[in-house]
Amino acid sequence: MLNRRMGFVMLIVIAATGFGLNIAIGSEAEEMTVPLGEIIIGPPEGVEPKRSPVSFPHGVHFDYACNQCHHMWEYDTEVQSCSTEGCHDAILSPIKAAAEGEEIEAYQYYKTAYHIMCISCHKEIKANNAELERTLGKLPDQLPATGPTGCIECHPKE
């Protein structure tokens, strides 16, 4: 497990000269292109958006294991989009879906899935940092970096 992850990090270091890279996985050497820069995440088709799309710096998150986010990925398969059918593909909230006679789980609603994943992680780091400062005093440059938690930081225009 650890070796495999280190293997990825090595490959990224070696190949991270352009935007996107190909990695060979497993003995069958299947190829996969990994976007390294910003991925623009917008709402799925059929949604009348209230907020601007989100610019997600993919590569900034590579300190984490890939399957922290791509939790259904099994290493020798293609990484699926979050909105793959049967995953986070519902475009109505459970309440609105129920009003239309459809029953869905909260995680299926794409907005909830993104918000839970993105915001909870950034909030958790902030909370840990606040706790460190509370116990150890101010450590301005030594606290772990975190990501945005405010609406307009991720959705810049109304």
Beta bridge partners of 41: 54
Please check whether residue 108 is in contact with residue 95, taking contact to mean a CB–CB distance below 8 angstroms: no
Q: Binding marks (x or -) toward ligand HEC, 71..110, rule CB under 6 A? A: --------x-xxx---------------------------
Rounded Cα distance between 96 and 61, Å, is 33
Residue 72 Cβ, how far from ligand HEC at the closest point, in Å? 12
Number of residues that bind ligand HEC (CB under 6 A): 48
Separation CA 99–CA 77 (nearest Å): 37
In the complex, what is the shortest distance from the CB of residue 57 to ligand HEC, in angstroms, rounded to a whole number?
Answer: 5
First to last CA, the chain: 43
Identify which range of 57-65, 92-100, 101-109, 134-142 contacts ligand HEC by CB under 6 A.
Answer: 57-65
User: Which of 120, 113, 61 is closest to 86 using CA atoms?
Assistant: 113
Of 114, 109, 147, 27, residue with least CA distance to 76:
27
Among 24, 60, 106, 136, binds ligand HEC (CB under 6 A): 60
CA distance linking residue 69 with residue 117, whole number of Å = 8
126 touches ligand HEC by CB under 6 A: no
Binding mask 11-40 for ligand HEC (x = CB under 6 A): ---------------------x-xx---x-
What is the number of residues in the chain?
Answer: 158
Residues that bind ligand HEC (CB under 6 A): 8, 32, 34-35, 39, 41-43, 47, 49-51, 53-54, 56-58, 60-62, 64, 66, 68-70, 79, 81-83, 111, 114-115, 117-119, 121-122, 125, 145-151, 153-155
